[in-house]
Amino acid sequence: MVDQPGLEVAPSTPPEAVLHFPSTLKSFTAREDKYFVRISSEETNSTVLINPTQTLRTRRSKKKIILWVGILFIVIVAVAAILGGVLGSRRSGNSSPTLASPSPTSTPVPPDSPRLNSRLTASGWRINGGFFKLRVFYQDQSDDLRFSEYNNDGRGWARSQKVEREGVLSITGMGATSILYSDPMEFFFLSKSSFLSGSNFKEGTTPFGGVDDSIDSYPLSLHSKSRLGTYWPYIVMQKPDLSLHLVAVTAFPVWQNRSLGISALEGTALAVVPQSTSYDNPNPAALMYRRNDGLLSLCSLNFNLTCNDMGVATIDLPQTSSFGAFAVARKGDTKNATDMYILYQNASNDLEYSHYFGGSWEPGQVANALKNADPSTDITCLTEGIWPGYAVMSSAYDMSRCYFLSNGRVREVGFDGMTWTDMGEVPLE
């Protein structure tokens, strides 16, 4: 901080007042015996001398001159004070100015909002009367797990609810799936020790925040960056050696697990979508993942706990892009096949999608609803749950929804088979 110039008063005979200035205006001097004003400049090396006593000799004239000199002195002091403050603050460089500018105010982040880089997952099922419900899970600012539930029967979104589990890994991978036979929904995640953990939810039986799942009794150690791909009865994860591992229930309620013999990119996104509209043996489901070279690859899961190679998708995914996928029943298809869609992030942080109708992957149209995603956001999409004798997948697109982070909040978009619609933020309250 450079000292601000000010008024220096030094006793002398005759008395003299000297004012120093920070710019071209160097000094002002008033002497009672001479009655003159001297204004000097170091930059121009010049002095202007005003001496009113040469023509004014009377006592009255003398008083007038003193009065005018005094007024001029006061004016120059005021100007000097202003210039001194402005120029002094400019000269101070990186030093703090005399008057600090007010710091911009920031909007407080709600504690139950998604944490930075939170993973996302969603699952849902149809209920009586043609209605459906779904839940979207995420991790909040305190690393607690939360979900928001939506009912399309007019109730809409409910306030977000905490999952009653502790000791959760920060930025944990997560996956949710509907089990219409027993527990309507199961939710899986990683513990702080990177073991696979879970909670299940059964309306009217378990607390709304869920209870511990039986998967906790089968300790599976995973890579700390493992994502989870889920669609009942399959759960796919990544082991510490980067291999993909499958856990499934093919004979309820026994968990089975085995390696798929696939090595994948560290922390690869994972998605599992049904290839059949009905839950019948062999119950094929497409697993999407990134190979070690980053290419998007697919294989077909089945009740034999194997994954038959489906080749590489002709989709150019940026190296850091996540992806989500969903399926809808192929209308009029006699083989109960599904149409598959994948949503991913491009280099501009906007989302794009491609679809698979049984031949090859084709890019979809650019959509404004898919813009303004947060960089490296996680992406998850919803496929309705199915169960033998209870629910067969519909060809309607009313449940075709995807979720990603935008401005730090969970954003929902819907697809009607042709266009995407921005459905706004998932409310926290």
| pLDDT-wise least confident of 41-50, 102-111, 196-205, 395-404 | 41-50
Q: What would the pLDDT profile of 360-419 be if each residue is shown by its tens digit?
A: 899 999 999 999 999 999 999 999 999 887 788 999 999 999 999 999 999 999 999 999
Residues facing residue 422 across a β-bridge: 413
Backbone angles phi, psi at 82, to 5 degrees: -70, -50
- Is the previous residue joined to 110 through a cis bond, with omega within 30 degrees of 0? no
Q: How far apart are CA 307 and CA 285, in angstroms?
A: 9
At 29, the pLDDT band (50, 70, 90 cuts) reads very low
Is pLDDT above 70 for 99? Answer: no
Q: Are 25 and 39 in contact (CB under 8 A)?
A: yes
Alpha-carbon 367 to chain mean position: 20
**H helix runs in 316-412, sequence order:** none
Q: What would the pLDDT profile of 110-156 be if each residue is shown by its tens digit?
A: 999 999 999 999 999 998 778 999 999 999 999 999 999 999 999 99
What distances in angstroms separate CA 329 from CA 6, 220, 333, one per listed residue?
83, 34, 8
Cβ count within 10 A of residue 177: 22
pLDDT (0 to 100) of residue 70: 63
Q: Are 220 and 235 in contact (CB under 8 A)?
A: no
The pTM for the full model equals 0.76
Select from 364, 210, 343 the least CA-distant residue to 269.
343
Structure tokens at 129: 């009367």
Alpha-carbon 238 to chain mean position: 24
CATH architecture of the domain 121-425 equals 6 Propeller (2.120)
Q: How far apart are CA 148 and CA 380, in angstroms?
A: 14
pLDDT (0 to 100) of residue 385: 93
Q: Which part of the chain is CATH 2.120.10.70? A: 121-425
Spatial CB neighbours of 375, under 8 Å, sequence gap ≥ 6: 349
Rg over CA atoms, the chain: 37
pLDDT (0 to 100) of residue 153: 92
Q: What is the mean pLDDT of residues 177-199?
A: 91
Q: What would the pLDDT profile of 298-335 be if each residue is shown by its tens digit?
A: 999 999 999 999 999 989 888 889 999 999 999 999 99
Select from 190, 191, 200 the least CA-distant residue to 232.
200
318, 321, 322, 327: CA torsion to nearest 10: -40
- Is the previous residue joined to 375 through a cis bond, with omega within 30 degrees of 0? no
Q: How far apart are CA 39 and CA 48, in angstroms?
A: 5
pLDDT (0 to 100) of residue 64: 58
Backbone angles phi, psi at 305, to 5 degrees: 65, 35
Q: Which residue is associated with the tokens 């004012």?
A: 19
